[in-house]
Structures are given as C-alpha cells and as structure tokens.
C-alpha cells in the first residue's frame, strides 16, 4: 500500500527537496497540491507532475490522501495542521510549527490525541555528519562535552528574499528560520536540552519591517554545556560549521549546516586527528523514510512534534532575550504534553 501525500503549500522547499524525497520512497506518492491561488496550484501541479491541484485545505483534505506535508508560510501552519489532524491525516509540518510554542503545543497535543503520526521537518538531524557527531559523543570519544559552537550564517538566496525579510506577521526573521534548526541540531547532537538562552539580533541591511536578519545566541544546557550560535541571512562568504569540544577531544565539522549531504567531521584527540566517515544519503529522503516507517508503527519520525516545540520555544526565548536584554529560562518540562 502506498502513502498518498497531499502538499499544503506550493512552496520552493517542496519543489526543491520534498517532492523528490516522497518519490524516493518505494511506497511514496504525491497525490495532490494545494495553493491559495488556483492558477498557481495548476501550474505547480503541471510543472511537478502532480495529478491533482486544489485551492483550499478542505478540498485537499477531502481528496484520497493519507498524509499532508505543510510548507506554507509560518503563520498558516497551526490552522492547517489542526484541520489535517481533525481529518485524520498524518502530518509532516515545516518548522517553525507555529508562531508561538503555546500554539505548537496545542497542535502536537491534538495530533497525539487523534493517534496520527506528527513530525517536524528538521532536516539536519538526518545528516550523516550530525549523526556521526552524536554517536561519537555518546560513545565517549570526546570525553565530557564542555562547549559547542554553531556557524550557521548564510546568504539568503534572491529567490527567497520575500516574506522572510518583509513580513513579521508571516513569521519572518532569521531566528524563526534558522535558530530553530540550530536548537534542534544542538539538542540532537548533544543529547541534551537547553535551559537558558541569551541573544543579540541585528538588522544588517537585508530585512525590513523591524525583522532581524542576523542573530548570535548563547545557550546553557541541562548538563552544564554552554554553546554559541550564529544565524544570518547576509553573510555571503562565511561558510558553515559545528564544533563540540570535550574534556578528551574535539569534533570539528565543516560545511555541515546545509540542506545537502556534504561536509566533513574531524575528531581531534591526544592520539591525533581522524576524519569520521558517514553516509551521504539525502537528508529529506531519510526523513521521509522514517516518517513512512512511523506510519507503519515502526518507530517515530526523525524529529517529532515535541522536538518542534523545543526548537520553537528556544527561538522564542532568543527573540525575547534580544528584546529585553536579559537571558531567558526555558521550562524543563517543555516537551511533556501531560
């Protein structure tokens, strides 16, 4: 039996990565796409070989589909997610799950009550590089983790210089766009949760309407690990990276905060340097494979709804800190839906 997907949102990310990832599954089918604009829906369906095009969420949910992938602008995720859950469809939702963690919690709790599979599309924890780092840390290869550094400041491509830098009401800004990914990757690689965040944000010339296009955050984790992260839309030549430094060694990953299965991970210890090897599977294809397995009752999506609540709450804390000039604590019970 195949899993028939309905796309909510005729988006760039679906076109660039997710349609392929669904089709890469032996049992994956893209059955329909919904755009708020009927002409765009038709054009998008035809360009991407999708059999049905609709212009309302109700019409999509009424079609013969098993699951939806939500990749509209961020303010729409909550309402569309709740509608899909009510219709009994499995939901893979883009980050941030909503505009506030309270809303995200409501959606994830509704999914749990309905017994459907709900995942957050945090792609980076599907990267072989990040999984290799997580395994090396869990195996004690750097001793006790002490500190981490995330370099995730990029240049927002011209074709994406729209709502992200102009529309606060759509959830624009670099923190909701990229800090959420850094929160998730730090949690995943360290196997730890943040407890406190302090942040500075800036508007370095690209974003308007009071939105930030650069951020630097300082994080404290439950175990005592401290971390720093840099997210940006305006640095053309920065490159990306992720480092974790421990009592017995350091992991230094280069070019790994990206959508592609690229980059390298170096382990440096008293015995010298070692390049870690890792698989180069497409990140989104792996995410879809885990999601399909979860539908069959095997395990969970690679990033769950609870993971999406954590990443959004972290971004929220960073934004609040940047406004108040004070560090912000994160509720340790955040992920619990009880």
Assign residue 325 a region (left: φ > 0; alpha: ψ between -120 and 50; beta: otherwise). Answer: left
Size of the site for ligand NDP (CB under 6 A): 21
CA distance 316 to 110: 21
Least distance between ligand NDP and beta carbon 77 (Å) = 7
Q: Which two tokens stand for residue 299?
A: 């395990």
Q: Could you say whether residue 162 binds ligand NDP (CB under 6 A)?
A: yes
- Which of 20, 25, 48, 73 binds ligand NDP (CB under 6 A)? It is 73
Task: Select 12 or 166, whichever has its Cβ closest to ligand NDP.
Answer: 12
- Which of 2, 12, 223, 336 binds ligand NDP (CB under 6 A)? It is 12
> DSSP readout, 172-184?
-SHIIIIIHHHHH
Least distance between ligand NDP and beta carbon 36 (Å) = 3
Q: Could you say whether residue 95 binds ligand NDP (CB under 6 A)?
A: yes
- Which of 113, 138, 160, 226 binds ligand NDP (CB under 6 A)? It is 160
Q: Could you say whether residue 11 binds ligand NDP (CB under 6 A)?
A: yes
Least distance between ligand NDP and beta carbon 211 (Å) = 14
Q: Could you say whether residue 179 binds ligand NDP (CB under 6 A)?
A: no
Q: Which two tokens stand for residue 222?
A: 């439950």
Who contacts 170 (Cβ-Cβ below 8 Å, separation ≥6)?
A: 73, 74, 75, 163
- Which of 5, 32, 53, 74 binds ligand NDP (CB under 6 A)? It is 74
Location of structure tokens 């069959």: 296
| Contact set with ligand NDP (CB under 6 A) | 9-13, 35-37, 40, 71-74, 94-95, 121, 123, 160, 162, 177, 259
């Amino acid at each position: 039996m195949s899993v028939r997907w309905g796309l909510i949102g005729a988006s760039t990310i679906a076109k660039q990565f997710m349609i392929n990832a669904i089709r890469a599954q032996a049992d994956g089918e893209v059955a329909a796409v919904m755009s708020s604009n009927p002409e765009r829906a038709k054009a998008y369906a035809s360009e991407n070989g999708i059999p049905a095009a609709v212009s309302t969420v109700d019409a999509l949910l009424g079609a013969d589909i098993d699951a939806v992938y939500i990749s509209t602008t961020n303010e729409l995720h909550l309402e569309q997610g709740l509608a899909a859950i009510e219709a009994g469809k499995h939901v893979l939702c883009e980050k941030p799950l909503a505009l506030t963690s309270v809303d995200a919690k409501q959606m994830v709790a509704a999914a749990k009550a309905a017994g459907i599979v709900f995942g957050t599309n945090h792609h980076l924890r599907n990267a072989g590089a990040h999984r290799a780092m997580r395994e090396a840390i869990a195996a004690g290869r750097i001793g006790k983790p002490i500190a981490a550094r995330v370099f995730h400041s990029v240049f927002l491509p011209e074709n994406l210089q729209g709502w992200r830098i102009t529309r606060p009401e759509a959830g624009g800004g670099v923190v909701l766009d990229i800090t959420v990914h850094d929160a998730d990757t730090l949690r995943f690689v360290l196997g730890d949760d943040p407890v406190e965040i302090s942040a500075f944000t800036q508007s370095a010339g690209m974003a308007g309407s009071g939105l930030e296009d650069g951020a630097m955050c300082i994080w404290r984790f439950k175990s005592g690990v401290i971390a720093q992260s840099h997210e940006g839309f305006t640095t053309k030549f920065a490159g990306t990276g992720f480092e974790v430094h421990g009592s017995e060694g350091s992991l230094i990953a280069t070019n790994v905060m990206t959508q592609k299965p690229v980059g390298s991970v170096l382990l440096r210890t008293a015995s010298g340097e070692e390049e870690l090897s890792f698989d180069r599977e497409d990140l989104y294809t792996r995410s879809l494979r885990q999601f399909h397995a979860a539908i069959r009752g095997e395990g969970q999506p690679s990033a769950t709804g609870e993971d999406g609540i954590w990443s959004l709450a972290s971004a929220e804390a960073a934004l609040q800190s940047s406004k108040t000039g004070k560090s912000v604590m994160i509720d340790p019970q955040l992920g619990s839906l009880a």
